[in-house]
Chains A and B, each alone.
Chain A
Amino acid sequence: MKAKERYTLVSDMLFNFFYFFVIRKVRKLLIFYLIFLFIPTVIFAENIVIDRLVAYVDDYAITLSELEAEYERMHKNNLLITKKEVLQTIINKILLIKEARKLRLELGSEDELINQYIEIVIKSKLLVKEEEVHEFYKKNIESFKERDYLSVKDQIEILLFEKEFNELLKSHIKELRRKANIKVFLNDIDTSLKR
C-alpha cells in the first residue's frame, strides 16, 4: 500500500469516526471527549518535579528553585558557569553566614553579613610584611621593567594581600566544609525545574 493510500485510508477512517460520533450523534460527544481527551490525559499524565531538595548543609536545605534562581542570576555574568559550581557557591555562602551568625554580627543582607564576617575573621589576620613585598620585588624585578621599588610597593602589597586573602579564605572554607554535614543530590537529578 502506498503512503498516499495509507493516508487516505486513515483520514477516511478518522473522518467517518468523527462525522458519525460528533456530527450525527451529538449526545455521544461526551464519550468521544472521554476517549480522546480524558483517557490520554490520565494515561500519559506524568508528575513533574515542582521543587525539591538539591543539597543540605547541616540543618539548612537548598532547594532546586533556589538553585535555579541563583544560576539564572550568575549565568548573566558568567555564561560558562555550571549548576554544580553555582551550588558549591551557595554551600560556601551558607557556611560563612552560619559562622557570621554565631558571632552575632549585625544582620544586613546576606552578602553584607558575609563581607562583615570576612573582614573580621579573615582580613584582620592578614598582614603583608615589608620584607615579603621587597622579596617579591626582587624575585620579579624583570617584570617591573626597571620601575623602582617605591613606585610599585603599594601595587605589590595589594597583590600579595589578595593572594594571601584568597588562600586563607579557601582554607577557611575548606575547614568549615570538613566540619559541616553536607550532602548534594545534584548528581542524581535532572536539574531543570519544570514549572
Chain B
Amino acid sequence: MNILRNLFKSISSAFIILFFLLNFLTNSSSSEIAVKFPISNIEVIGLYSIKEEELLELLGLKRGDIIDFDSLKIGIKRAFLKGIFENLIIEGNQELSHIVVKVEEKRIIEKIEVLQNDFFSKGFILRNLKIEKGSRLNIKKIEEGISLLLEQIKKRGFTSANITYSIELEGRNKCVLVLNVQEGSPTFIQKIVVQPEPSETIKSLLDVSVGDIYDQLKIERMEENFINYFKKQGYIGVFIKNDFRDGILTINYSIGKRLEINIIGNEMVDTSTLMKIIDIREVNDLSDDLIDEIKTRLLLIYYQNGYAFADIIPIKTVNDDKIILSFYIFEGIKYTVDKIFLTGTSLQEDKIKKILNLKEGGIYNREYLDQDRNNIRELYHSLGYIEAEVYDPDVKLNGELIEIEFFIYEGLQVVVNEISVKNNQVFSNEHLLKEIPLKIGSPYNEIDIIDSRRKILEIYQKAGYINAKVSFETSFNGTKASVVFSVIEGNIFYFGKNIFIGNEKTRPEVIKRELQHEENKPLNYILTFKEKQQIQRLGLFRDVQIKLSDYTFDNKRDVLYYLEEENHGALESGFGYGEYEKYRFFIDLSHRNLWGMNRFGSIRTELSSLERRLSFIYTMPYFLINELTLKSMFLWESKREKSLDTKEILYRLRRNNFSIGIEKTFNRNIKSEVYYDFSVVKTSDVKPDIILSKEDVGTLIISGFRPGIIYDKRDNPFEPTEGFLLGFSSKLVSRVFFGEADFVKINLYGNKYFKLSEGIIFAISLRGGIARGFHKTQELPIVERFFLGGRTTVRGYAQDTLGPKGTDGNPTGGNAFLMGNFELRAYTKKGFGLVGFIDAGEVWQRINQIKIFDLKFTTGIGIRYKTPAGPLRIDYGHKLNRVSGESKGEIHFSIGHAF
C-alpha cells in the first residue's frame, strides 16, 4: 500500500511540477502566438493627436473580432500613411485576448527659435527654411531646409556661415526647433576692376563699391538692370559677367550694338501695329531664324486682313556701332471672297459652307484654305464617307475678288450594320450596346466609335473594374461596316478604408459626411471627383487631392485624402460712412471650424452715430440630418431713429433678441428656413405724432416664428448677371408663444437679371409686404412696421421717409408696401461701372388702403467700383413725384447692389 501510495505521490508531484513549469513557460517572453485569437480588449498607448477610434479603424482592429495578421500588416501601412506616426508597434496576449497598440507620434513643431543671428532677421531665416510652425517634425525636411537657407546666406556674402540645430522636446507630442545660425564674417570686395574702362553712365549702373559685402544676389540684380537698361535703349548683344577672386571683383561687359528697325512700304497696316508684332525686347541675339520668324508674323497680319499676296523682304546691315534691320513690304491688293464653289458634292452646299472659315463676302485669308479643306474632309468622314478626299482648291482672281473652288471626291457612304462586344462577362451585350452612342444603321464615324469605347470603359470603371481595357476592330464589306469591341475586364476592386491626411484641426467625421462612396462597395472612382468638390465646398481646405492606395488588400483599395487646411479664424474690422448713420465701424471675430467640426461662431460689434450692436452667432451644419443647418443668434442693440430733414430723434430703441432656427437646402437652388424669435424691445422718446398704438412706447416682448423659402437661380449672388431670385418670408407673432403682441407679416420678392451683352445687365426687382394685427393687437409695433426710402429701397428718398406721416410730418410706417426697381448696369473691364435706375414704391397704413397710383417714382444714376465684398456705390436718386417741402433728390453711399 505504501509503495502504491509513494508511487502515486511521485506521479502526482511530477505532474504538478510539470504543469506549473509548462504554465510558466507558455506565458514567458519566449512564448509565441500560434493561432488567431479573438480580441476582447485593446489598449492604445502614446496617441494624442487623433481619436483612438480613428487609429483602430485605420489598423482594422475591432473589439470582438478575430485578429487577422494580414489585415494588420495593411493596417500598419494605412495608419502610417496618415503622416503623424513615427513608429507603430502592435503587441498581443493570446491568453488575455488583449492587444496593445503602441504608437510614437511625429512631434509637432510648436516653436522655431533662432539663435545667434545678427545680420539676418528671423523672418528671413524662417522664410528660407520653409518649415512651418505647427508642422510635424521631419528631420529630412529640416536638413534640406537648413541646406537651402545656408545657400541663401552664403550667396549674400557670408561664405563661412554655418547652421546647426537641436530639437527640444515639449509636452507629450510637441517640440521646439532651435536653429543656431552662426553667420560668421562676411566677404568684402577689396577691389573692383571693370573692363573695358566704363563711361560715367555705365559707372552709375554698376551699383557696387569697394568695401561692400560680396552679395551675389545684389550683383545679379545689378547685371540684370544693366542688360535691361541697354535693351530699352535699343541695344542688342548686351552682356555683363563678373568674377570674384581673392577680394577682387572683375566685371567684363559689352553694350553690344544699337538695333534700328525700319519698316518700309506699309500703307494699309500702320507702323506701330507692325512694331508691336516685331517685339524683340527680350531678344539679345538677332539670328537669321529670328528674322524669318518675324517676317512670318508680319505676313500673317497681312493675310488676316486680306492681303493674300503680300510679301516682305528683311535686310540686315551691320555697322561698327549699330545693326539696321529693314523690312521692305509689298502689300499688294486686299482681296474679298466672292464665290465658293463646291464641286463633286451631293450634300447641301449651305451645310458645308457653314463649317468653313472663309465666307462669301468676307476677307480672303489664304491661311484658311488648308484648314477649310480639312474641315470639309472631316465633315464627310463624320457622315460615313470614309474615302472622301478634298483636293487642292482652285483660287481665281478677278480684280479684288476671289473665287475659290473646292474639288470633292465623296466616295461611298459607309453605314454601320453590325456592332458587337466580345469577352464581356459582367455586362451583357444588350446592356452595353444600349448605352453606347454608336447605333446600327448610322453612318460610320470614328468619333462615335471612340466615344462608344470610352462609354464601355466608363461602365466597367463605374462598376469597380478599374483596370478594364476596351479596344475595337472595324471591318468593311462594301458600304457596310462591322465594329467589334473587345473587353478585358480584369478584376473587380472595392472601396477600402478612408485615410485623411493633413487634417490636423478638422475632425474626420466632418470630411466623412461629404463622402459619396461606401466601404466594400465597387470602386467607382468617378465618385471621388464629386467628393473632392464636396470637400472643397466646406471652405476649410486650401487644397484637396484624392488618390487610391498603391497597395491592394482583398481586392480593396483604400482612398487617400490629402488635405491642406486653411486658416479658420478671422479678425475683420471696417470703417465707413453712410448718408443716414454717418460714421460706421465694425469689428468681427469669427472661427469657422470650432472644435474641428465645421461649426461657425462669431462675435461682432457695430458702432455708428445712431446705433450700437453686439451679436453672437453660432452655426452648426449637419444638425441631426444631412443639409440641415442650425443657426442661433443673440443680439443686443441700442439705436436712435432720426429724421434726416429735421435731424430730430423720432424714437429710441433697445432690443435684446434671441433667435434660433434651422435652414434646409433641398438642392443647390432651394433653401427654406424656420426661426423662432424672442425679442424684448424697449421704445422710448417716441415722437407723439408717430405713435399709433400703446405698444409703440415702453417695453414689449415679441415672440414668434419666422418661416421662409428662397429659390435662387442667380449665377453669382454677389454680382449677378443672369438668373433670378424668388423669395417668401413671413412672421407669425402671438401671445401663445409667451409674447405681448399678435400679428402676422408676409413678404414676397423677386429679382430677375438679363445679360444684354458683355458687361451690360438689366435687372428688375419687385417686392411687396403685408401685415396685420390680430387678437388684442390693432397696430403693429413701430419696430415691426414697414418703412421705405433709402439706398436699398426707393433711392431719391431719405432713409424710411416714404409713406404715411404723423401730424408733424414724421413717417409712421405702415402695414403694407409695394416696391419696384429697374436698373441698367454697365461695367468697364477695369471694374468701374455706371448705372441708370428707376425706383418706385409706397407704404400704406392699412392693407385696404393700397392704391397702385399712389406709388412714388424716382430716377437716377450711380457709379460702381467692383471690390471682393461687392461693388462700392454712389447713387443719386431724383424724385419724380415730389411734393412741396421735399428735397429734389438724395445721394446714397453704400457697398453691394441695391438688389
Give CA–CA (A46, B33) in the complex, Å: 11
User: Within the complex, which residue of A18, A36, A50 is in contact with B69, where a contact is CB–CB below 8 Å?
Assistant: A50
User: Within the complex, which residue of A11, A48, A53 is in contact with B92, where a contact is CB–CB below 8 Å?
Assistant: A48
Give CA–CA (A11, B92) in the complex, Å: 36
Residues of B within 8 A of A194 (CB): 31-33
User: Within the complex, which residue of B77, B91, B95 is in contact with A50, where a contact is CB–CB below 8 Å?
Assistant: B91
Contact assessment for B83 and A59 in the assembled complex, using a CB-CB cutoff below 8 Å: yes
Q: A48-B32, A48-B91 are in contact. Are A65 and B69 (CB under 8 A)?
A: yes
Q: A51-B69, A61-B76, A65-B69 are in contact. Are A14 and B28 (CB under 8 A)?
A: no
- Tell me the smallest distance from the CB of A112 to a CB of chain B, in Å: 14
| Residue B88 CB within 8 A of the other chain | yes
Q: Which of A29-74 contact B (CB under 8 A)?
A: 36-37, 40-42, 44-53, 56, 59-61, 63, 65-66
Give CA–CA (A94, B80) in the complex, Å: 15
Residues of A within 8 A of B96 (CB): 42, 45
Contact assessment for A40 and B24 in the assembled complex, using a CB-CB cutoff below 8 Å: yes
Give CA–CA (A97, B550) in the complex, Å: 10
Residues of A within 8 A of B9 (CB): 11-12, 15
Q: A65-B69, A181-B140 are in contact. Are A47 and B93 (CB under 8 A)?
A: yes
Interface residues on A, range: 35 or more
Residues of B within 8 A of A37 (CB): 23
Residues of A within 8 A of B195 (CB): none
Give CA–CA (A122, B139) in the complex, Å: 30
Q: A40-B20, A45-B27, A185-B87 are in contact. Are A53 and B72 (CB under 8 A)?
A: no
- Tell me the smallest distance from the CB of A157 to a CB of chain B, in Å: 37
- Tell me the smallest distance from the CB of A40 to a CB of chain B, in Å: 5
Residues of A within 8 A of B129 (CB): none
Contact assessment for B31 and A52 in the assembled complex, using a CB-CB cutoff below 8 Å: no
| Residue B529 CB within 8 A of the other chain | no
Residues of A within 8 A of B12 (CB): 11, 14-15, 18-19
Q: Which among A11, A44, A47, A61 has the highest number of chain B CB atoms within 10 Å? A: A47
- Tell me the smallest distance from the CB of A138 to a CB of chain B, in Å: 43
User: Within the complex, which residue of B16, B32, B86, B141 is in contact with A14, where a contact is CB–CB below 8 Å?
Assistant: B16
Q: Which of B57-91 contact A (CB under 8 A)?
A: 67, 69, 72-73, 76-77, 80-81, 83, 85-91
Give CA–CA (A194, B96) in the complex, Å: 16
Give CA–CA (A45, B154) in the complex, Å: 59
Contact assessment for B16 and A59 in the assembled complex, using a CB-CB cutoff below 8 Å: no
Contact assessment for A65 and B73 in the assembled complex, using a CB-CB cutoff below 8 Å: yes
Residues of A within 8 A of B80 (CB): 53, 56, 59-61
- Tell me the smallest distance from the CB of A121 to a CB of chain B, in Å: 19
- Tell me the smallest distance from the CB of B5 to a CB of chain A, in Å: 9
Q: Which among A41, A46, A50, A195 has the highest number of chain B CB atoms within 10 Å? A: A50
| Residue A10 CB within 8 A of the other chain | yes
Residues of A within 8 A of B19 (CB): 36
Residues of B within 8 A of A48 (CB): 29, 31-33, 91-93
Give CA–CA (A152, B72) in the complex, Å: 55
Contact assessment for A195 and B69 in the assembled complex, using a CB-CB cutoff below 8 Å: yes
Give CA–CA (A53, B144) in the complex, Å: 25
| Residue B613 CB within 8 A of the other chain | no
Residues of B within 8 A of A172 (CB): none
Q: Which of A1-35 contact B (CB under 8 A)?
A: 10-12, 14-15, 18-19
| Contact indicator per residue, chain B 13-30, by CB within 8 Å of chain A (1) or not (0) | 110110110011001110
Residues of A within 8 A of B140 (CB): 180-181
Give CA–CA (A17, B10) in the complex, Å: 13
Q: A40-B20, A63-B76, A66-B73 are in contact. Are A53 and B89 (CB under 8 A)?
A: yes
Residues of A within 8 A of B91 (CB): 47-50
| Residue A101 CB within 8 A of the other chain | yes
Interface of A is mostly: mixed
- Tell me the smallest distance from the CB of B777 to a CB of chain A, in Å: 67
Q: A53-B80, A60-B77 are in contact. Are A40 and B89 (CB under 8 A)?
A: no
- Tell me the smallest distance from the CB of B359 to a CB of chain A, in Å: 44
Q: A50-B90, A185-B87 are in contact. Are A14 and B72 (CB under 8 A)?
A: no
Residue of chain A at shortest CB distance from B30: A194
Q: A11-B9, A65-B69, A66-B73 are in contact. Are A49 and B16 (CB under 8 A)?
A: no
Give CA–CA (A180, B90) in the complex, Å: 26
Residues of B within 8 A of A51 (CB): 69, 72-73, 76, 90
Residues of A within 8 A of B95 (CB): 41, 45
| Residue B713 CB within 8 A of the other chain | no
| Residue B138 CB within 8 A of the other chain | yes
Residue of chain A at shortest CB distance from B31: A48
Contact assessment for B87 and A53 in the assembled complex, using a CB-CB cutoff below 8 Å: yes
User: Within the complex, which residue of B27, B33, B99 is in contact with A195, where a contact is CB–CB below 8 Å?
Assistant: B33
Residues of B within 8 A of A61 (CB): 76-77, 80-81, 88
Give CA–CA (A181, B144) in the complex, Å: 11
Q: A53-B80, A61-B76, A195-B33 are in contact. Are A47 and B100 (CB under 8 A)?
A: yes
Contact assessment for A59 and B29 in the assembled complex, using a CB-CB cutoff below 8 Å: no
Contact assessment for A53 and B76 in the assembled complex, using a CB-CB cutoff below 8 Å: yes
Contact assessment for B23 and A63 in the assembled complex, using a CB-CB cutoff below 8 Å: no
Contact assessment for A18 and B16 in the assembled complex, using a CB-CB cutoff below 8 Å: yes
Give CA–CA (A59, B99) in the complex, Å: 25
Give CA–CA (A96, B731) in the complex, Å: 68
Residue of chain A at shortest CB distance from B85: A53
Give CA–CA (A53, B96) in the complex, Å: 24
Residues of B within 8 A of A41 (CB): 23, 27, 95
Give CA–CA (A49, B32) in the complex, Å: 9
Residues of B within 8 A of A47 (CB): 91-93, 98, 100
Give CA–CA (A50, B31) in the complex, Å: 12
Residue of chain B at shortest CB distance from A97: B550
Residue of chain B at shortest CB distance from A47: B91
Residue of chain B at shortest CB distance from A45: B27
Residue of chain B at shortest CB distance from A61: B80
- Tell me the smallest distance from the CB of A101 to a CB of chain B, in Å: 7
Give CA–CA (A183, B106) in the complex, Å: 13
Contact assessment for B73 and A40 in the assembled complex, using a CB-CB cutoff below 8 Å: no
- Tell me the smallest distance from the CB of B767 to a CB of chain A, in Å: 57
Give CA–CA (A4, B19) in the complex, Å: 21
Query: Can you offer 9 A-B residue contacts whose CB atoms are under 8 A?
Result: A11-B12, A15-B13, A18-B13, A18-B16, A36-B20, A48-B92, A50-B90, A52-B76, A56-B80
Q: Kindly list 8 other residue pairs between chains A and B, CB separation below 8 angstroms, not including A40-B24, A59-B81, A66-B73.
A: A18-B12, A18-B13, A36-B16, A46-B31, A47-B98, A52-B90, A56-B80, A180-B140
Shortest Cβ-Cβ A-B pairs, 8 listed: A11-B13, A61-B80, A47-B91, A181-B140, A15-B9, A52-B89, A44-B27, A195-B33
